[in-house]
Structure 1
Amino acid sequence: MRSTWLQRGGADDLIVVFGGWALGAAPFDALTGPQDVLFVEDWRELGALPDLSGYARRTLLAFSFGVGAAGHWIAGYGDPFDRKIAVNGTLAPADADHGIPPEMVEATAAGLSDASFARFCRRAGLDGAPQIDIAERQAELRAVIQRGRAPDVRFDRIWLSKRDRIMPPAAMEAAWAPQSDRVEWIDAPHVPFANRLTWEAWL
């Protein structure tokens, strides 16, 4: 687990982004706002975050495989967040009914190459493909499979994309049925952030 400050200017409000697999911070490049933003990625192992106690308000925005990671992280480290947002992910990311079937996740790991990752990025709706370490990203996918379903977490808002070609919309709908009153469907791909270009719009 790695964390990087995308914006750090002494704001009262902090957004902690739990990112998806292998895409890095690129999905969030166009988002603007006054908040400090801490980006977290790499779900091979879960570890402690920097001290967040100096912020008046702390919001979690968990995206894609970051949703499941957030559920496991909160179970292990407690919940420091005043508000929690999920985007195009579930608490069971490698799951036949509520995520991506584990055999498909394993097949992605087994066949991972620069070319296959570029195809993945296009399917996700991301322009261009970040540089990746293939062995590390294979290990990350297998860690997600092994970690399994996260404990239940209540989110304040859940964004799901109708045109998601990574996380099956039907599986996400089933996964979030117990929290369906928090769900908002949007006409967007897996990386949906071009639709709303401020952090605040997603919170």
Structure 2
Amino acid sequence: MQVEWLHRTRSAEVIVVFGGWAIGSACFAHLAGGRDILFISDYRDVDTNLPDLRGYATRRLVAWSLGVSAFGHWQVGRDHAFDSRTAINGSLTPVHAKTGIPPRMFRHTEATLTEASFQDFLSHSYDAPQPWRAFDPAPNQAELLAVQLRGAAPDCAWDRTWISARDRIFPPQNLELAWTGQPQAIRRLDAPHVPFAAWSDWAQVWQ
């Protein structure tokens, strides 16, 4: 796991973001709010401790895509208390035919991963062509293998779960099934797998 402060001004509120695979943090950099932002990525392992966040009056968790299951594994045995937990376009079963990314699709992405195939993944994630990005397949392939081997994460409660209608990574019908046990938390969005352009302020994410 990589842990990085994206914004740190000693605000009274902190958002801990468990990001998705390989896309980074630029996709939500436009979101306003003046809060401190701690960004988590690289799920080859989920053992890294977070900084002490007890000095914050409000602590919020936002987990997106493969970050949802990564948080589910990470939180076992840890006592970090969050005032809200939001899951976006992901599930606790990251590789699953009915409640996650279909195994055939996931394994194909991992087995055929190249700099060129990653550009296709970006286009699918944004549901639109994207500028070319430099990309190192080896560590990202290792991350996908680790996610697959780690399997389903332990059950945990969420205050909000977002499902994007145009998600081409986690099929929306799979996420509907994944979150049937927490129907009060579900919100639906006409957006792709990367949905952040639908919002202008972080507060919209958990409201």
AA aligned opposite 1:9: T
Tell me the C-alpha RMSD between the 2 structures.
Answer: 1.3
AA aligned opposite 1:88: N
User: Does residue 73 in structure 1 map to residue 74 in structure 2?
Assistant: yes
User: Does residue 147 in structure 1 map to residue 174 in structure 2?
Assistant: no
Summarize the alignment of residues 17-166 of structure 1 with structure 2, pairs less than 5 Å apart: 17-46=17-46, 47-125=48-126, 127-128=130-131, 130-166=133-169
TM-score when scaled to structure 1?
0.96
Matched position secondary structure for 1:17: strand
Compared CA separation, residues 13 and 164, structure 1 to 2 (3 A): same
| Separation in structure 2 between the aligned mates of residue 95 and residue 78 of structure 1, nearest angstrom | 28
Q: Is this contact kept in 2: 1:85–1:157, CA < 8 A?
A: yes
AA aligned opposite 2:174: A
TM-score when scaled to structure 2?
0.94
> What is the deviation of 1:131?
3.3
> What is the deviation of 1:101?
2.3
Q: Is this contact kept in 2: 1:24–1:130, CA < 8 A?
A: no
Match of 2:189 in 1: 186
AA aligned opposite 1:119: D
Q: Is this contact kept in 2: 1:13–1:36, CA < 8 A?
A: yes
| Separation in structure 1 between the aligned mates of residue 138 and residue 151 of structure 2, nearest angstrom | 21
| Separation in structure 1 between the aligned mates of residue 77 and residue 21 of structure 2, nearest angstrom | 20
How many equivalent pairs are there? 203
| Separation in structure 1 between the aligned mates of residue 81 and residue 2 of structure 2, nearest angstrom | 18
> What is the deviation of 1:34?
1.3
> What is the deviation of 1:130?
4.3
AA aligned opposite 2:198: N
Unaligned ranges ≥5, structure 1: none
Matched position secondary structure for 2:75: helix
Q: Is this contact kept in 1: 2:68–2:87, CA < 8 A?
A: yes
